[in-house]
Amino acid sequence: MTVLKILQSTLALLLFAVVVAVVVQAQEVAPEDVIRVKTTLVTSPVLVLGRDGKFVPNLRREDFQIFENGVKQEIAYFAPVDHPFTVALLIDTSRSTVFNLRDIQYAALAFVEKMRPDDRASIVAFSDDVKVIAEPTSDRETLRRAIQSIRAGGASRVYDAIDFVLAEQLKIKGRTALVLFSDGVDNDSRNATLESTLTKVERTETLVYPVQFSTYDRLKAQTPSQTTLPTEGTGFNEQDYRRAGGYLLRLAEITNTGVYPASELSDLDRAIAGIVDELHNEYSIGYYPRTMGQPGEQRSVEVRINRPQLTVRSLTLYVVDKSGTVVRTANTQRPPVSSAVEAGDSLPVSRNDPVKPGTEGRWICEGPDVPINMAIVREGFIAHCPKSTRPNDETNAWLIRKPAREEKLCKGFFLWHGREIAGASVPEGYVVIGEIKSPACANSNNSDITTNAWEIRVPGPSETVCKGFPLPHGYVMIGERFTPNCPPRATDLNAWLIRAK
């Protein structure tokens, strides 16, 4: 062999070694020991609901399919509902919540009692300072003592507190959640802003559950009518509360949860039960996209379930930023976060507000996540909400509020996985006594459905109610009958006669 051939062979071997080294560096082992080119793992929390609206547990990896831009992906990560979670209970102790602190402590203690043995929680309080009262732990007695030690007073650093918890308490592997007990008003943050915290939430996998206390009522009651309110930004101006309501709504929207209004203890009980129920019924599914996305490119995600008559709630869109981080997003048509928060948001809902149809409450973008025990009383169009995907539907937003004793509840039709469904649920403690066609509500595209609203009310000692809805607590069914107010059923009898126990 000549010297030239020896050199050529040596160079070829060196080149091969370099190529192998590069390929090995660019690969990783997935959970199933499948070698793949490294891309960003896209994960999504997933909730599965039955036709009765209840969560469906005990599903397996093979029950799910996941698609990106319509292309089926291989599931690389799956965590069932029994995997433990770490949650930060973030408690507002500023001056505005001083009269709500006992209720907040009650709610936090109730949450601790409902934790599973392997779940962990940390307690963080904030006013003009952000303090860790208890590091993440499963020791319930430690958590109880920490919650009971909290005292109120000082300014409010909502943005700084959320930023701190995401960066220091929840930057860990596994399922994480943040439960925020606050009115949402900030007047003293020094390190973070409204915009920066929302951006950080978009770049995490943490679920955020705002429990909103309506401290604005007390502010109004304590301010004489002839007195000028403090200037905007002090935390005691009406616009500050409007901004806070929009901010909490946006936090929930990004993480696909919901805002839980808490104007009295019964609201808190329902809020805590609802949050714990979600966390204990949440699956987590992840995949490596088959192709790398370009920075700024939006991709759609669809999780499907291989069982009939089940509904899936999960991540639907994401964008990869310049650093390769997956950014959760609800809609690319939405303007910058700050302007979305400012536009059209209203004050926190309170049970004590006067009930005037179409004038009280707040607007939300239409979708599957109506806050618990709120009624859709009107439908309309708001510029910062995405356009409706339903044909012939010019509405894209719902006005929601605490229902009066008698209320007209829009059915809230929207398109879900290509199928039109009604998004409204009947608030707890109410019954459906009939259905009507209301000019305040959008119509169905199904010509067989001629009504668009339910008539609901708090039942008296005895009541005739439409079939197909849960009976309120404390009532029993004593007979069946026909009423023209209720939709037809398979039999001639379409209503129940109920009475209080």
Mean pLDDT of 318-331: 77
Which has the closest alpha carbon to 459: 407, 402, 401, 500?
Answer: 500
CA angle 28, 32, 37 (to 5 degrees): 30
Query: Taking every pair of C-alpha atoms in the chain, what is the biggest distance, in angstroms?
Result: 106
pLDDT, position 462: 92
Query: Rg of the chain's alpha carbons, rounded to an integer?
Result: 26
| pLDDT band per the 50, 70, 90 thresholds, residue 219 | low
Q: Report whether 313 contacts 47 (CB < 8 A).
A: yes
Spell out a b/e string for 430-452, using b for 16 or more CB atoms within 10 Å of the CB, else e. bbbbbbeebebbbbbeeeeeebb
Name the more confident of 123 and 298: 123
CA angle 322, 70, 26 (to 5 degrees): 45
- 60, 83, 285, 359 from 116: Cα distances, Å: 21, 10, 21, 42
DSSP letter for 5, please. H
Mean pLDDT of 276-293: 90
| pLDDT band per the 50, 70, 90 thresholds, residue 66 | very high
C-alpha 89/C-alpha 178 separation (Å) is 6
> For 232-284, what is each residue's pLDDT tens digit?
444 456 677 778 888 888 898 888 888 887 766 667 787 888 899 889 999 99
* Mean pLDDT of the chain, nearest integer: 80
What are the helix (H) ranges across 280-377? 337-342
pLDDT, position 431: 93
Q: Structure pTM? A: 0.63
Among 14-28, 269-283, 481-495, the least confident range: 14-28
| pLDDT band per the 50, 70, 90 thresholds, residue 350 | very low
C-alpha 47/C-alpha 314 separation (Å) is 7
Q: Percent of the chain, pLDDT > 90?
A: 38
The tokens describing 113, both together, are 């009692």
Annotate 248-284 with DSSP letters as a single string: HHHHHHHTT---EE-SSHHHHHHHHHHHHHHHTT-EE
C-alpha 370/C-alpha 260 separation (Å) is 10
Q: In terms of C-beta density within 10 A (0-12 exposed, 13-18 middle, 19 or more buried), how is residue 397 classed?
A: buried
Q: Supply the angle between the helices 194-202 and 238-254 in degrees, to the nearest 10.
A: 10
> For 133-161, what is each residue's pLDDT tens digit?
999 999 999 999 999 999 988 889 999 99
Q: Report whether 86 contacts 137 (CB < 8 A).
A: no
